[in-house]
Amino acid sequence: MSKPQVIDDEEHERVHERVAAVDVAKDSGMVCTRLPHPSRPGARQSTVWTVKARMGAVGKLGRQLKDSGIELVTLESTSDYWRIWFFVLEACGLAVQLVNAAQAKNLPGRPKTDKLDAQWLARLTELGLLRASFVPPAAIRALRDYTRARTRLVQERTRCYQRLEKLLLRHEALLLPDGGERPSISLPS
């Protein structure tokens, strides 16, 4: 029999030292940062506060988090309310991840208030237990916006041509002499 090997292991190993999480709502977000405790080595300290979902306030938060050395910010996907938080914080130079609300809710021990929810998300973030949803990079988002706008414009143009053709067909008897040929409308390329 061989000599047993002893392996020291922490129950929950941290993946990120300095993290933030935002529990996103329609008009505001509950922000929680988790940082090393300033006076107790090995201990953690959480700070929780509310930030309005406005460009200026979120931009100020982004600069504050960047100055604090935050490595990763987690946002819980809630309707489309996460977008301002994601894009502004990303523009401030922070690494931001969007997580599916159902993923975080399915973990046992989840609290039920906004404050506790933000703390819970921050804890899960520092332990690396959340899987980020795919959010396309800025260049792809811009390209998608352009192609979607073009698609809408083409659809609108087609709709206008069809309405005009329908109007002409409806009044064909008034516009054409007997035996005349029906006009056709062709769409330009």
Task: Please say if the pLDDT value at position 179 is more than 60.
Answer: no
How many CA atoms lie within 13 Å of 13's alpha carbon, on the beta-carbon side?
4
Q: What is the pLDDT of residue 165?
A: 84
β-strand partners of 50: 30
Place of tokens 């988090």: 65
pLDDT in tens, 30-66: 899 998 888 888 778 888 998 998 999 999 999 999 9
In degrees, rounded to 5, the angle at the alpha carbon of residue 15 between the alpha carbons of residues 9 and 102 is 110
Percent of the chain clearing pLDDT 90 (strictly above)? 31
In degrees, rounded to 5, the angle at the alpha carbon of residue 133 between the alpha carbons of residues 122 and 77 is 60
pLDDT in tens, 128-145: 888 888 888 888 888 999
More confident residue, 175 or 52: 52
Q: What is the pLDDT of residue 20?
A: 94
Q: What is the pLDDT of residue 45?
A: 86
Task: Please say if the pLDDT value at position 186 is more than 70.
Answer: no
Q: Tell me the pLDDT of the chain averaged across its residues.
A: 82
